[in-house]
């Protein structure tokens, strides 16, 4: 099995006690057998503790919180995502009171968590990695919520908490506005440059989506895409919640609901690694990413048949 290694910060990588090079955003890979292998990520800066774990059957079934694991038939990607700082203790990164709710953002052991104290008691919720957490009290339709905006290397996320302490919303967001309703906007870095706009109304401490629009960037035209890019653009359109009909041959357009059901609930589209082409040959395929847990993902590969600039069939790579 080929394993690709990357990390949230520059690291020295050791595999089986042997120095294997440096990684970070730049990946390193190794072909490993069925025997257990120790992987160690040693931060180059020295401010954080190293990460280490054993790559074995247990790891691939349930990876530790410190890393994200992407599994696929011919390999896997291991991303060392969360390092613990050498400086101990707990820090309060942000705090706000909204109605009867007190929301605090706490960092301990390199992990940020939202601590809520509301009418239903207290709770802790893991937060996405970010370099800035901004908390403020807002009113949506006259109801109080605590809004937490998380901004970092990953796409920004907006979380809203009701007075009970429950998380009422957790979504990607580049712009938001609260008033009689909540408006949220997010722009994707995909082939069509999609912008997703959502509107939510508040009902008894919950948020219900009342409107959603998905638009491509100005001037984008599916008919102008090269045949090799067309399948990626189709899958990205479905992931964004847009209309895939313009990418399909006329005979396939009435089968859009069946296509969505067939592909399932995937959250992202990715380009296959070189091991895919070494395994399956020069097939034009895209990887669809399915979330299986907080930090566990499966990647399944699909290809598409095209004719006259339209897609006539979608099938898995086996």
Statement to judge: residues 196 and 111 lie in one domain: yes
Confidence of residue 89 (pLDDT cuts 50, 70, 90): confident
In a domain, residue 167? The reply is yes
Pick the last residue of a domain from 80, 105, 140: 80
Confidence of residue 99 (pLDDT cuts 50, 70, 90): very high
Statement to judge: residues 131 and 206 lie in one domain: yes
Statement to judge: residues 205 and 118 lie in one domain: yes
pLDDT digits (tens, 9 = 90+) for 51-69: 999 999 999 999 999 999 9
Statement to judge: residues 97 and 204 lie in one domain: yes
In a domain, residue 85? The reply is no
Note down the domain range covering 303: 223-316
With 90 as the cut, is the pLDDT of residue 85 above it? no
199, β-bridge pairs: 183, 211
In a domain, residue 32? The reply is yes
CATH number at 59 reads 2.60.40
Task: Note whether 16 and 54 are within 8 A (CB).
Answer: no
Pick the last residue of a domain from 80, 107, 137: 80
Statement to judge: residues 128 and 151 lie in one domain: yes
Pick the last residue of a domain from 215, 239, 258: 215
Tell me how far CA of residue 228 lies from CA of 254, 285, 303, 311, in angstroms.
24, 9, 10, 11
Q: What percent of the chain has pLDDT over 90?
A: 87
pLDDT digits (tens, 9 = 90+) for 11-45: 999 999 999 999 999 999 999 988 999 999 999 98
Statement to judge: residues 247 and 183 lie in one domain: no
Statement to judge: residues 127 and 111 lie in one domain: yes
With 80 as the cut, is the pLDDT of residue 116 above it? yes
The reply to whether the predicted model has a pTM over 0.85 is yes
Q: Looking at the 3D structure of the chain, how many domains does it have?
A: 3
In a domain, residue 257? The reply is yes
Statement to judge: residues 63 and 135 lie in one domain: no
Q: What percent of the chain has pLDDT over 70?
A: 100
Statement to judge: residues 188 and 292 lie in one domain: no
pLDDT digits (tens, 9 = 90+) for 299-318: 999 999 999 899 999 999 98
> What does the block give as tokens for 201?
């109304």
């Amino acid at each position: 099995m080929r394993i690709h290694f990357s990390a949230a910060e520059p690291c020295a990588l050791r595999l089986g006690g042997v120095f294997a090079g440096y990684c970070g955003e730049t990946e390193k890979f190794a072909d490993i057998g069925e025997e257990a292998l120790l992987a160690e990520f040693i931060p180059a800066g020295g401010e954080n503790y190293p990460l280490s774990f054993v790559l074995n059957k247990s790891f691939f079934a349930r990876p530790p919180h410190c890393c994200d694991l992407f599994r696929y038939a011919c390999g896997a990607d291991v991303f060392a995502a969360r390092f613990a700082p050498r400086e101990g203790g707990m820090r309060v990164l942000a705090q706000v009171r909204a109605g009867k709710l007190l929301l605090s953002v706490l960092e301990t052991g390199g992990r940020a968590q939202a601590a809520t104290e509301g009418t239903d008691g207290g709770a802790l919720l893991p937060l996405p990695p970010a370099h800035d957490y901004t908390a403020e009290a807002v009113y949506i339709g006259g109801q109080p919520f605590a809004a937490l905006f998380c901004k970092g290397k990953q796409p920004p996320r907006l979380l809203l908490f009701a007075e009970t302490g429950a998380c009422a919303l957790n979504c990607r967001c580049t712009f938001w506005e609260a008033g009689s309703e909540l408006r949220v906007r997010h722009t994707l870095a995909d082939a069509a440059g999609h912008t997703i706009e959502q509107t939510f109304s508040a009902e008894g401490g919950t948020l219900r989506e009342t409107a959603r629009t998905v638009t491509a960037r100005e001037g984008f035209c599916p008919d102008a895409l090269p045949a090799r890019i067309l399948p990626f653009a189709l899958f990205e359109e479905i992931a964004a919640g847009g209309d895939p009909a313009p990418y399909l041959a006329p005979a396939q357009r009435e089968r859009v609901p069946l296509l969505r059901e067939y592909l399932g609930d995937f959250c992202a589209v990715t380009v296959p690694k070189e091991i895919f082409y070494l395994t399956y040959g020069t097939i034009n395929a895209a990887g669809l990413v399915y979330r299986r847990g907080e930090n566990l993902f499966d990647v399944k590969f699909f290809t598409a048949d095209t004719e006259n600039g339209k897609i006539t069939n979608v099938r898995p790579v086996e």
